[in-house]
Every structure is written in C-alpha cells, then in structure tokens.
Structure 1
Amino acid sequence: MDAENHVKIISKVIIKPSSPTPHTHKTVKLSFLDQLLAPPFYVPFIFFYQPDNSTVSVNHAQISQQLKNSLSEALTLFYPLAGKLNPQISTVDCSDDGAEFVEARVHTCLSDINFFDCGGIAIGICSSHQLTDGASLVAFVDSWAAACRGQGQKGNFAPPSFDLARYFPPRNMSGFGFPELKKEKLVTKRFVFDKEKLAALKCAAVFGPPGSSAVKGPTRVEVASAFIWKHFIENGHHVKNVPAAWHIVNLRPRVNPTMENVFGNFILKKFIFSSGADPEFHELVSKMRNGLREIDDEYIRKLSREYDGYVSDISKFYDLVASGEMESVGFSSWARFPVYEMDYGWGKPVWVCPTSCPEKNVVFLMGTKDGDGIEAWVNMLESSSEILEIKFKLLGIN
C-alpha cells in the first residue's frame, strides 16, 4: 500500500473561538522582531500518543469532538491564532475567523512509524512563523491540552501577553526582507545523540588538544550543534569565506524581570563565526557558548533602542549567503520546552517531532523523551547528508 492510501482525510472544519474577541482586542501589532526574524513559512510539529484504555474505550468521534471543543476554548485565550495575518501593515486582524481542524485516519500502527488503526493518535500543530515562535506554540498546545482534560484554558503557563510590540515597536522595513528560498532538492535526516554519543562529544570539548582552552560543563545542545557545524565547515571548502552558524535564542528568560508569557517571536538570531577554515571541535563549542552568552538583559534592552546596527548586520549576512560567498548552518532548539508534558487526557506523548523545512542547512534540536539525549532534524542537500551520516555513525567509536 502506498503512502497516499495509508492516510484518509475524514473531515476539514473551521473552529472558531468559544467566545468572541472583545472589540478592544481586535488588532494586534506585530513587533519589530516578528518583522525581522520570522521566516515566511509554516513549521509543523507532531505529537504522537500511544493507545491506552481511555482512547480504546472511547470512540474516535467522541475524541474528535473533545479536541474541537477544547481547541475552541484555547483559541479564546490565544485569539490572534484565529485571526488574519497582515504582514504588509504589520498587524493581526483578530476577526475570530477560526483555525482549520483536519481529521484523518492512518491505516497503520503507531509503533510502525489523525487516528491510527491501533488506536494511537497524532496531533499536528502548524502556525505561521511570522506570528509564533516555538515558546508561543508550546504555550498554546499546553492550553489546548488543559482544556481537553477539562481543566479550563489555563495550563502550566501564565496567560499569554500580546504586547511584544510595546517593547519592540514595528519599524519601517522597506528594502529589507527574508531572503528568497532557492528551489533545491533537500532531504531531512534525523540524528539521535544518545547519552553515549553526547558523552563522547562532551569529553572532546573538555579535553581538547594539549595547550587548548577547555570548555567547562558543555551542554548537550552546545556539543550537538558544534558537531553538525563542524561537518558543514569541512564540507564547504568551496566557498570563499569560512562557514558561519546562527542559533535562535529565546529571549524570555534572558530579560530582567523574565517575560515568559510573551506571545510572538521573542527571539533573536545570533550569528557565530569560526576562526579558521579547519577549527578544532572544542573551539566551535567555545565560540557557540560565548556567542550565545552575549545575549543578556543589557544586550536585549540596547537592541530595543538601537536596532539599526543589528538590521544592517543581518542584512549583510543574508546578502553574503545569497551570493554564495558564505555558507551557513542554523539551529533552533526546542530541547528545554516541556513538549513531553502535553497531556490531552490520554497520557503524555511517546514522541514529538518536527517535519521537513524549506530552508537549507536548518537544524531543529529536540530533547528525547528520557531527557538525556538530543534529536537533530537536519534539512540539507542530499550530498551533505551522506557524509554527515558516516561521521555520525563513527561518533563515540574508539
């Protein structure tokens, strides 16, 4: 049976908020960070749930209705997600138009790879990146799951705040735009850095060559990112400049006081450059760490006042990459988000993953369910994937 016959669309409906959005909240302004950093595409994530007594004993029609009702409740709290995005004037029209809810049946078992024949359930979430970042999307899913469990709209997060534009007002961005994505044949590969592989990488970062500066207590995200970055450096000698990396930084915990409930793209893209054509692994880990630690409360507050320099830097970076003078690899980490706590009433997910991305050399980092490992989802050219797969298999082998 081919893939098309495995999946059957059962229904498509529009779910509206359970209560109308007040007239005083009908328009939400996009922030300067939404304008500047959000790529013009959707990044879906999927939550997989194994069958248990609650999903086997209750028919799929009842579960579907529970999900629809609770989605309606969650959209009342997260009302911009039921509106219309208008990037030309940097606003969201909170018109209560609703969100599309698609129901499908998958003719296979969840253990082999919506409603599965085995009773398992997969819930996919897809929202415009121009409106949400990872933290915003997780907060929405948490609210939806809480409503589905019968615990109201409020989950484990504080109610969302939609005033990011108050701190980062929209700017005149004429002449600047996210670079047009080239139509290239990309593949998405998943690499699981388990405890053993991460231990080998951390050891290499801590105990570098004699005379080198060691990195104390490297994190799993730092070493996994540096390993993949080193691969792209070694695989990109044809370009004029040394390949660079960028990492998405969640700004919520880095401001004082923290702003954990802010909805929108409260993120920054930090560019990190290697010091040579063939850097040591521990050097890349160190550069990754030092670069990310620069993003603190003072840095963020300065950006809110003096944004021209950052816009100029990001524009030059995009131009170099677009012209082929520089190769880059980017990372977005969900490793600290509580995605494995999202319980709709039939238990916690057994697996959470992204899907493919239309942007080349972009890596999503997910924490494994046990909390010890890292799953790296790498979107790249097929020629790059073959070499990375070989090096990954050799990682940790003495």
Structure 2
Amino acid sequence: MESKVEILSKEMVKPSSPTPTHLRDFKISLLDEMVPPTYVPIILFYCAGTDGAQDFEVISNKLKFSLSKILNLYYPFCGRLKATSSSSVDCNDEGVLYIESKIPTNLSDTLKLSQSQIKELLLPFDPYDVPSTMDNYDRSMVNMAVQLSEFRCGGIALGVCLAHKLADAAATASFLNSWAEATRDIDNGGNGSIVEPPRMDASLIFPPRGIELAINELMVVGGSGGGAHDEKLVTKCFLFNATNLSSLKARFGDFNATGVEAITALIWRSAIQAAKAATAGGGESKTTLKPSLVCHAVDIRNRMVPSLPKTLFGNLCLYSFTDLVESDGIYGSEELDDLVEIVRNGIKEAIANYSGLLQGDGSLDELVEFFKEARSMFADNFVTCYGFTSWTRFGFYEVDFGWGKPSKVRHISHPLKNVVYLMPTRTGDEIEAWISMTEHEMVQFQRNPELLQYASLEF
C-alpha cells in the first residue's frame, strides 16, 4: 500500500507572551549534554467518532491556541540552541514548527505500514537525519516540531518531535499531557492557567560541563560479527500479550520479576542465541562471539535518594549496566533466572551510585569519567551491548486533548543495532518490544521457540 502525505500548511507557533529577559539564556544540564543531538519522536493516533470528536480545522486551531499558551511555560522549545555553546539555549521566541497534512488512507491501514513509512508520512521530519528532510528549516533552528494529520476515515494523528537535548521520554509525556490539559481547558473557558509549571533548574543539580558524550549511539556498535554500520539492520515488533506476560513473570517464581525485567532477560538470552546461530551459519568459530551486557535507560526522578521532582524538565535519565556475561554460558534453561537477577542488580547498583552523587558521596566528575570509560569500551568493540529503553510508565495513553485518549501510540525507533524499545498498549497490561538488529541475526531471533512461547511477531 502506497500513501503520500499532502501538506496543507506550515507555520511557526510562538508563545503567547514574550519570554522574560532573565529566562532567555537557558542552561541545559550535564545529563542533557550526554544525549545525541537528535529528536524524541512520538505519534499519537485518535480514531474518528470518539467522544468530543470535532472538525479537523477546529481541532487544529485549538491545538495551536493552547500550544501558544503552554509554550510560555516550556519556553526552551521555542528557542534555539546557541551555535557558540552546546550547553545553552537562546530562548528567543522564534517558535515551534507546526504542519497540517492529509493522509489518503484510513488510520487502521496506516498502522500496518513499516516504521520508515510511518515516519515519512506522520512526522514533520526524520528525527534522526534532520538536515536532509527539513526543507527550508535548519536543524539548529528548531527545538520542537508538530505535524497534525487527518486520515481518510476522519481519524487524526499528532506527530511530535522534541529536541532530545531538552527532553527525555518522561519530559515529553509530561509536556504532552500539559498541552492536552490546556486544550481541554479551552472548552471550559480557561486559558491553560491550570497546568502545573515544569521545574526548569536541572542544571543546578547537574551543572553542564561543555561536553557531548552521546554514549547511547556508541554503546551498540559492538556485535557478534562486525560493526553495525557495515550490516543491514531490521526493526521488528514482538507483542507480549497480558496472558503471556503473566506466564513469563510467573516463570521466575518468588523472584517477582517485573514485566520489563522478565522481557529484558528473555530478549537478551534469545539475542545471544541468535548471534551464536548466525555466526555458526556463517562458518566462523563460536569463539569470535564477544561477552555481552545489557544497558537500561533509567528515569531517575523518583528513584534517587532524595527523590527529584517529577516535573523536573530535561533529561533525567541515566544508564545502568549489568555485569558482563560470556556468550558460551547461555545455553541451559536455568540461565534465564540468572539473567533476570543480573538485570535487576544492574539497575539497583546504578541507582545507588547515582544517589550518592546527589548526597555528596561522590563527584559529578566521577560520573563523567565513568561514561567516558564506558564510551571507550564500546568504541573499541570489546563487548556486545543490548540497549533497552522502557516507555511503559510515562502515560502517553493518557494524553486527551478533549476528543478522547489515543487509540494507539507509536515511537519511531532509532535505527541502531541491538536496541530495544518497550512500549505499552492501550490496555495497559501488554508490552510491545521494538527490536533492531542485523538482518541475519533477526532471522534466527524471530525463530527462537522460547521467545515465541511468550511473544508474537506483529510487524
């Protein structure tokens, strides 16, 4: 099925009030510096005929009006990263790119398309390769962009790209829910004043250092048979439905594994087995396989001691690393129990270490050095790292602008080797695992009988 987007309009939405002078130079934090200069992409789908459904033009006008209001609180989105400083945003109120479009297919048919096709149709630009797809808008000039699309069936999609230097997934969800709250308030005669303001002082907790590590791009270059840039990557979605997820968690007995821990252990083990099978099929010695570890992106707002405010704006996400596991040791069914414990311990140890930094037990310089060492290890290709990011608890399915909650939420995965995004479904008791790996390893991975006992291949 081929679809082509029809662009109806493009404009810049600016904040309804000028940003005060004392807020115009916004400092990003050390943790913001450590993420790559890409965007956080999210697409919210709303079916036609939901409660409060309205005309597309009316919907769009409400969204633009409330966006203008809410940008007074989220003023860095309307600014521009300074060319002379990677740690500062010039909050100059130049605005947010806003696009209206029509899609000549039904919403249900569009959801069956590949990630790359959906990205081209429903996002304002490629969030990972912006300069080649942004027309007359330079990447350094846009911190946020929106595309509102209407399907032939009357459903709509809201595609949003937020500068990753300014927001992680939790901050993105918080912003979208605040924007939705401000939009609903319009029907009640308000102006968005009920929205709780975000905290904008993360740089006081994690002062910037003027560095850019971008560790999450390097941590996945290691592999079992060459660099990620030399091999064709594929991304597929595996669904863990409620029944199967419950069975998988029960597999670990009194350990009481969470859904994320259980899925991580199973995917890790299945991926190692796939790498082994793919390597053996290529006629190479199994000893060429590197030891592996799992890296989890962990939201630290409510995990730190003391805890951080849930409204703290920016990237409050750090990485937990498990112990190394030798590939040749993963062959018996009992090892799955070992892996889930290794995953939990890695997260617990990371949080304990990071909490020590805030309590004065360590130096932020030590944190920087730790990540520099990790970056060097991954760059030298000594290990295979499987990177996991979970978006299961951020509330994307609660984003209600006044015409109902999303029927579907899609994230467009960064095309990086051995990266896994865990996404919830609308029911809240299922998890989608979007997995990217080399084509020849995916062939083996998707056949794994233990994996297929608990997950079904969706896309």
TM over 0.5: yes
Q: 1:261 aligns with which of 293, 297, 311?
A: 311
Gaps of 5+ in 1: 207-214
Aligned equivalent of 1:128: 163
In the alignment, the residues of structure 2 paired with residue 385 and residue 275 of structure 1 have an alpha-carbon distance, to the nearest angstrom, of 21
In the alignment, the residues of structure 2 paired with residue 372 and residue 268 of structure 1 have an alpha-carbon distance, to the nearest angstrom, of 26
Residue 96 of structure 2 is aligned to residue 39 of structure 1: no
Q: Superposed, which structure 2 residues align to 1:1-398 within 5 Å?
A: 2-3=2-3, 5=4, 7-36=5-34, 38-52=35-49, 58-86=54-82, 88-112=85-109, 113=111, 114-149=149-184, 150=186, 152-153=191-192, 158-173=196-211, 176=213, 178=215, 183=229, 185-206=232-253, 216-237=255-276, 239=288, 241-255=290-304, 256-277=306-327, 278-279=329-330, 280-296=335-351, 299-302=354-357, 305-391=362-448, 394-396=452-454
- The share of aligned pairs that are identical, in percent, is 38
Deviations 1:102-157 (A, max 9, x none): 1111111112220011110111111121111011111110111112112543677x
TM-aligned CA deviation for residue 373 of structure 1 = 1.2
Contact persistence 1:143–1:155 (CA under 8 A): no
Deviates most, 306-315 or 38-47: 306-315
Aligned equivalent of 1:212: none
Contact persistence 1:204–1:281 (CA under 8 A): no
In the alignment, the residues of structure 1 paired with residue 89 and residue 64 of structure 2 have an alpha-carbon distance, to the nearest angstrom, of 23
TM-aligned CA deviation for residue 79 of structure 1 = 0.6
Deviates most, 255-264 or 384-393: 384-393
- The alignment partner of 1:144 has SS state of helix
Deviations 1:295-352 (A, max 9, x none): 4466324267413333333223223322332111111111111111110110000111
Note closer, same or farther for the CA distance 1:154–1:381 as it changes in structure 2 (3 Å cut). farther
The one-letter amino acid of 1:46's match is: I
The one-letter amino acid of 1:271's match is: F
TM-score by length of 2: 0.77
Aligned equivalent of 1:210: none
Contact persistence 2:413–2:421 (CA under 8 A): no
Note closer, same or farther for the CA distance 1:155–1:240 as it changes in structure 2 (3 Å cut). farther
Task: Give the total of aligned pairs.
Answer: 383
Note closer, same or farther for the CA distance 1:14–1:108 as it changes in structure 2 (3 Å cut). same
Q: CA RMSD in A?
A: 2.4
TM-aligned CA deviation for residue 257 of structure 1 = 4.0
In the alignment, the residues of structure 1 paired with residue 405 and residue 210 of structure 2 have an alpha-carbon distance, to the nearest angstrom, of 44
Deviations 1:194-228 (A, max 9, x none): 1222133223322xxxxxxxx52111111111111
In the alignment, the residues of structure 1 paired with residue 303 and residue 45 of structure 2 have an alpha-carbon distance, to the nearest angstrom, of 31
- The alignment partner of 1:169 has SS state of coil
Contact persistence 1:43–1:357 (CA under 8 A): no
Deviations 1:64-115 (A, max 9, x none): 1111111111211111111112373411111111111111111111122200
In the alignment, the residues of structure 1 paired with residue 232 and residue 28 of structure 2 have an alpha-carbon distance, to the nearest angstrom, of 33
Gaps of 5+ in 2: 112-148, 222-227, 277-285
TM-aligned CA deviation for residue 171 of structure 1 = 1.5
In the alignment, the residues of structure 2 paired with residue 348 and residue 396 of structure 1 have an alpha-carbon distance, to the nearest angstrom, of 28
Note closer, same or farther for the CA distance 1:152–1:272 as it changes in structure 2 (3 Å cut). farther
The one-letter amino acid of 2:326's match is: G
Contact persistence 2:200–2:313 (CA under 8 A): yes
The one-letter amino acid of 2:262's match is: V
Contact persistence 2:235–2:415 (CA under 8 A): no
In the alignment, the residues of structure 2 paired with residue 273 and residue 233 of structure 1 have an alpha-carbon distance, to the nearest angstrom, of 15
In the alignment, the residues of structure 2 paired with residue 97 and residue 60 of structure 1 have an alpha-carbon distance, to the nearest angstrom, of 26
Note closer, same or farther for the CA distance 1:95–1:301 as it changes in structure 2 (3 Å cut). farther
Deviations 1:338-370 (A, max 9, x none): 111110110000111101313222211112211
In the alignment, the residues of structure 2 paired with residue 77 and residue 173 of structure 1 have an alpha-carbon distance, to the nearest angstrom, of 27
